[in-house]
Structure 1
Amino acid sequence: MSPTRTVTPYAGLNGRRYLVTGATSGIGQAVALALREQHAEVVALGRNPEALTALEAAGCTTCALELTDTEALEQAIFDHGPFDGLVNSAGITHVEPALTLPADAIDQVFHTNARAAAMAARGVARGMIEANKGGSIVNVSSQASLVGLDDHLAYSASKAAMDAITRSLCLEWGAHNIRVNSVNPTVTLTPMAQKVWSAPEKRDPMLAAIPLNRFAELADVVEPILFLLSDGAGMISGVCLPIDGGYTAR
């Protein structure tokens, strides 16, 4: 459940309070644990009871909820806030050719990846503004928002919407000293991704398109997120940062 290497200490995280969505797996889980290593307070949202229990053992406060339930999400933010930062890591995908993609699949992906992220950001920002404290929001987007990928219409469009949310909120909330950024990773080797991308016929063409010729490890994504949350990124806002080994440079 930990990042694949020890993360660097980042200025200003110690003692601050962060909300992490999608914290029971993958990038969100790794971010929650890395923030605890930085001695930050973490409220972890997710749906997997066993993973939430493990996060509690690591010192996180946990909350089980369905992120698309806006009322429950707003209540959780109110109950556990105010926060110094938010990492919107929850996300789902639906891979299918556009000619057969069901409308309800598009709705489900957008509700989690874009709408829920916007509502989480709204709730956290309200608390920041009321407390007059500012803060940092990081949205976990994807390289799929920056380039076209076969069979990824719903996912790519939802992540492009997340990047648009990032830019809009950067403009609206900058006056309140709230910074909003996205990170846009390539394939990241979570346990699920390792299974999905293990087949050579799928893995090899993607690796050939990445100039660094490797997929991202969890720590490759976690460390930029921690940096964007930290005081060291105090003048960075509105950025959609590819973490893709050069994939989108082509």
Structure 2
Amino acid sequence: MGVAGPSIIITGAGKGIGRATAHLLAERGARIVALGRTPDGLEDLRTEIGAHPIVVDLADPAQARAAIREAGPCDGLVNCAGINVLERVLDMTDAGYEAVLGVNLRAALVCAQEFARMRVAAGGGGVIVNVTSIAGHRGFPDHVCYAASKAGLEGATRVMARELGPHGIRVVAVAPTVTMTALAVDAWSDPAKSEPMMARHPAGRFAEPDDVARAIAMVLGDDAAMVTGSVLAVDGGFLAV
């Protein structure tokens, strides 16, 4: 199949990178448990690829825990759910901070914890992929909370890899560049902002959701059995220059 096992949980599966990942892994033989806030998007996945949809507000830790438990002891977890509130440092609001950190960081940790608990109870093994961002490595204006959430998740990835490794659980972060989802279109729609950014990519373009999905599939697979605690940049060379 080219993935870690037959059952993969994907958060934020209703659109963007999550949706592309659900389709790609299903094509490769995985059974998908699709988590998200939007019922229509999840129902589309049920129809298109036979996914098991779970509607959940991941900003609520209790709902997040219940959703992972409902999914059961699957073989892989892809923490793909993410939001952004564009605020500068001097204008940062409590509401923006709580929204972004609540979904991008806390929800990912909660989901990973519940997934890992079930894997340990089942005898170990499994893979967690945390989708982060190059925003955790470079300082982009208006992204203060988003950058904090993604850098924090990469730090947590390393801790999880160390603590869960003895149980046979690998944990890897995948850090995309600007990926042309609805979220990115909103953040990078101004050519004055996007064109200088594009020029810093040796690949000459931003990423598409399928680019990131293929990287996620790669690190889920058995060919990446010795890859854990790492951050894989899917960035067209941006961080190299």
What is the TM-score of this pair, normalised by structure 1?
A: 0.92
**Distance in 2 separating the partners of 1:27 and 1:141:** 11
Task: Give the AA of the match of 2:131.
Answer: V
Task: Give the AA of the match of 2:38.
Answer: N
Match of 1:137 in 2: 128
Match of 1:33 among 23, 28, 51: 23
Match of 2:152 among 137, 152, 161: 161
Match of 1:54 in 2: 44
Matched ranges for 1:1-250 at <5 A: 10=2, 12-13=4-5, 16-57=6-47, 58-194=49-185, 196-250=187-241
**CA 1:95/1:191 → structure 2, altered by over 3 Å: closer, same or farther?**
closer
1:127 aligned counterpart, secondary structure: helix
**Distance in 2 separating the partners of 1:150 and 1:198:** 14
Task: Give the AA of the match of 2:176.
Answer: P
Contact 2:3 2:217 in 1 (8 A): no
Contact 1:84 1:133 in 2 (8 A): no
**CA 1:142/1:231 → structure 2, altered by over 3 Å: closer, same or farther?**
same
Contact 2:4 2:76 in 1 (8 A): no
Task: Give the AA of the match of 1:134.
Answer: G
Which segments of 5 or more consecutive residues in structure 2 lack a partner in the other structure?
Answer: none
Q: Deviations over 1:116-158 (max 9, x none)?
A: 0000000001111000141100000000001111121100011
Deviation at residue 197 of structure 1 after TM alignment: 3.4
Question: Number of residue pairs matched?
Answer: 240
Task: Give the AA of the match of 1:168.
Answer: V
Contact 1:188 1:218 in 2 (8 A): yes
Which segments of 5 or more consecutive residues in structure 1 lack a partner in the other structure?
Answer: 1-8
Deviation at residue 193 of structure 1 after TM alignment: 3.1
Deviation at residue 39 of structure 1 after TM alignment: 1.3
**CA 1:169/1:147 → structure 2, altered by over 3 Å: closer, same or farther?**
same
Deviation at residue 32 of structure 1 after TM alignment: 1.1
Moved over 6 A (4+): none
What is the TM-score of this pair, normalised by structure 2?
A: 0.95
